[in-house]
Every structure is written in C-alpha cells, then in structure tokens.
Chains A and B, each alone.
Chain A
Amino acid sequence: MKFKKWLKKRIGLISVLSTELEDAYDVEALHQYRINLRKLHSYSEVYAKKIDEKGSKEFSKLIKFFLKPTVVLRDLDLFLIEIDAIECSQQTKEQLYKDFNSQREQAFEKFMHILQSSEYKQKLKKLKLTTKDSGFLMHEVKNIDKDKIIKDKEKEIYNEYKRVDDNTSFEELHKLRKEFKKFRYGFDIYRQCFNKSSDYIEKISDLKVLQDIFGSIQDCYVRLGFIKGIKDQFTKEQWAELEIFFSLKLQNARQELFLHRDKEFT
C-alpha cells in the first residue's frame, strides 16, 4: 500500500468511527478508533519526527487530544467483562459490578460530552486538514531513510528491554510498553508501505507476544488502582481476596516478562 493511501485511510476511519461512536457507542468501534489513532501517533513519533520535530510534536499532541478521553472508558469496559473471572466471592463480584458500572456510566457520559463538543469537531477538522496540507506528513516521507529509522528504533528499544530486572518499577515498564507499542505500529507501517518483504513475520509475531505480556502487567496494575479507589466499600476479607488475586496475577505477568527477556537475550 502506498503511504499516502495508508494515511488517508487512517484519517477516514477515525472520522467515520467518531460519527459511529456518537450515534451508537460500541466497544469494538472504540477499540478500532483507538488503534487507528495509535497508528497515526506512531507514524508521527517514529518517522515524522525525523522530518519536522516541531510539526510532529504538534501532530502527536493533536492525536493525544483524541486518545485521552478514551483511556478510562476502555479500561472500565474491559474490567467489567473481566470481573466474572476474578477468583472472589459472588458478593464481592456484585459489589464490583455495582461500583464500576456507575464509574463506567460517568466515563461514558464524559466521553460523549467531549465527542459532541465544538472543540472536538474543530480538532477533527484540523486533523483532516493537517494531512491534506502538511508536506512533512504526506510528501516528505520519501526523503527519509526509513530502513535506518526503524533499525535504530529497534536497537534502542531492545537495549532498554535488556536492562529490565526485578528492580524495574511499574512506571519504567509502562514507559517501555509505550515505546514498544510505537515501535510495533512503526514496524507495521514499514512493512505495509516501505518494505513489503515477508521476512518480518516472525518479528511481528514476537512483538505481539511481548505486547500481550506488557498488556497483562498494565491491566493488573490499572485494576489494582481501580479497586484501591473503592477499598472502603469492602470488608477486610473481601479486600484481602481481591488484593491477593491481582497481586499474584501481577507477579505472574512480571515473571512471564522476565522469561521472555531471558529467551530473547540468551
């Protein structure tokens, strides 16, 4: 696919999905909306940054404007589906449903309010115009060394990953997760638009495994944060079962990451 077509497709999908979300909210539509925004963000951070740093910074900021209001809503949508799988009493589950359904309602209303705001509509218009008018996004990509950019990014990110150990904090892991996400989408763009070789299938498959592991760590951490926020709603016993469940899950996910890292570098 030509890069110009790829970029136009992303912008088109974001526009269509935002209308769909406004008309009839759907978990899948939000998921696709976020993926397309993340792909654009990765293009800006991995490639466009090398063409026009200031321009890409502004573009990334614009993308973040669209992504930010979706974060809590997506996390709560996922959490509500997962509650049933938590190893705890039915009473605790019912309490969780009650609290988080109400939090989700608030997050949904907030998201819809933003989606319907004039600021949102203006920024969506700006996003479409930016892609139409801006040379650095649409045209100048042919002048940069995409092979070198993606290889440098790979080297940089795997060097960081190599340093991960028991002392690595959650914040550091989260930062690395975000970098891997940028790299993964940057690599997808590279394969789809700049180098259509099939040699990279194994690499993409490994990146997906790694993202799943990072995702599990992030999910456990976010959920621990969610339940800590309503700790006073639970009895001592209820709280203990929830804390043990998520702490063990978090520990297992970290262990899985270390195993993957050892496999990668030995």
Chain B
Amino acid sequence: MSHRHKVKIEKLFEHPVSVNIDAKKLISALEYYGAEVEMTKHNKAKIFIKGEEFLLPLSHGHDLSKDSVVTLRHFLEKVNFVEENL
C-alpha cells in the first residue's frame, strides 16, 4: 500500500511534467503521508501540510492539469514534503 502511494507522489516530482496523474489517487497518497484534505463546493481540494494551505483545482476528468501539477509540486517543495522525506 505505502509503495503505491509513494509512486503517486514520486510521479508528481518527475520532470518534465507528466500529465497522467489521477487527482483522487494523488489526494489519497497525500493523506496517507499526513496531509489534511478538504473538498470545496467549487471542485477544489484544500490541502493542509505543516500549517500551510494549498488550493488544488480539480478537473472534471481524472487527470490533473500541467499547471496544477507544477504549482502543487512547488508547494510541496516549499513545505519540504518531498520524496526523500516520505
């Protein structure tokens, strides 16, 4: 289980950006590693890590957009929620 979640987070840090990242699976992986997630009415996910908040827009499809992947990656780097620390 933990390996599957880790792979999802690692995918987020791949560069150049992959767009084959399923939003729901990624959110489950973030929660597994301690992030708190709240869904809003406007199809966005509020992600809380180490007292910091990030608003992730979700598309109606399964995959995250390239913009969302890049901004989320930058947020995770800022709060030091990176592959090496999982």
Cβ of B64: which chain A residues have Cβ within 8 Å of it?
81
Binary interface profile of B, 49-65, with partner A (CB < 8 Å = 1, else 0)?
Answer: 00000000101110111
**Distance between B66 CB and nearest chain A CB, rounded to angstroms:** 6
Taking the complex as formed, is A243 at the interface, i.e. its CB lies under 8 A from any CB of chain B? no
Complex Cα–Cα for A53 and B67 (A): 38
In this complex, the interface size class of chain A, counting residues with CB under 8 Å from chain B, is 10 to 19
Cβ of A82: which chain B residues have Cβ within 8 Å of it?
65-67
Cβ of A77: which chain B residues have Cβ within 8 Å of it?
19
Instruction: Knowing A84-B59, A85-B59 are in contact, say whether A31-B67 is a contact too (CB < 8 A).
Output: no
Q: Is the CB of A78 within 8 A of B19?
A: yes
Taking the complex as formed, is B15 at the interface, i.e. its CB lies under 8 A from any CB of chain A? yes
Q: Is the CB of B16 within 8 A of A81?
A: no
Q: Is the CB of B67 within 8 A of A84?
A: no
Instruction: Knowing A81-B63, A82-B65 are in contact, say whether A35-B19 is a contact too (CB < 8 A).
Output: no
Q: Is the CB of B60 within 8 A of A81?
A: no
How many of B's residues come within 8 Å of A, CB to CB?
17
Complex Cα–Cα for A146 and B25 (A): 42
List B15-64 residues whose CB lies under 8 Å from chain A: 15-20, 57, 59-61, 63-64
Interface SS majority for chain B: loop
List A1-51 residues whose CB lies under 8 Å from chain B: 26-28, 31, 35
**Distance between A78 CB and nearest chain B CB, rounded to angstroms:** 6
Instruction: Knowing A31-B20, A211-B15 are in contact, say whether A81-B57 is a contact too (CB < 8 A).
Output: no
Q: Is the CB of B65 within 8 A of A81?
A: yes
**CB-based nearest A residue for B58:** A84
**Distance between A125 CB and nearest chain B CB, rounded to angstroms:** 28
Complex Cα–Cα for A219 and B19 (A): 14
Complex Cα–Cα for A211 and B66 (A): 13
Partner of A31, one of B19, B59, B65: B19
Binary interface profile of A, 153-190, with partner B (CB < 8 Å = 1, else 0)?
Answer: 00000000000000000000000000000000000000
Q: Is the CB of B65 within 8 A of A85?
A: yes
Taking the complex as formed, is A208 at the interface, i.e. its CB lies under 8 A from any CB of chain B? yes
Residues of B within 8 A of A (CB): 15-20, 57, 59-61, 63-68, 70
A-B interface, 7 closest residue pairs, ranked by CB to CB distance from nearest: A84-B59, A28-B20, A82-B65, A208-B15, A85-B65, A212-B70, A81-B65
Can you report 6 A-B residue pairs in the complex whose CB atoms are below 8 A from each other?
A31-B19, A31-B20, A81-B61, A81-B65, A85-B67, A219-B66
Residues of A within 8 A of B (CB): 26-28, 31, 35, 77-78, 81-82, 84-85, 208, 211-212, 215-216, 219
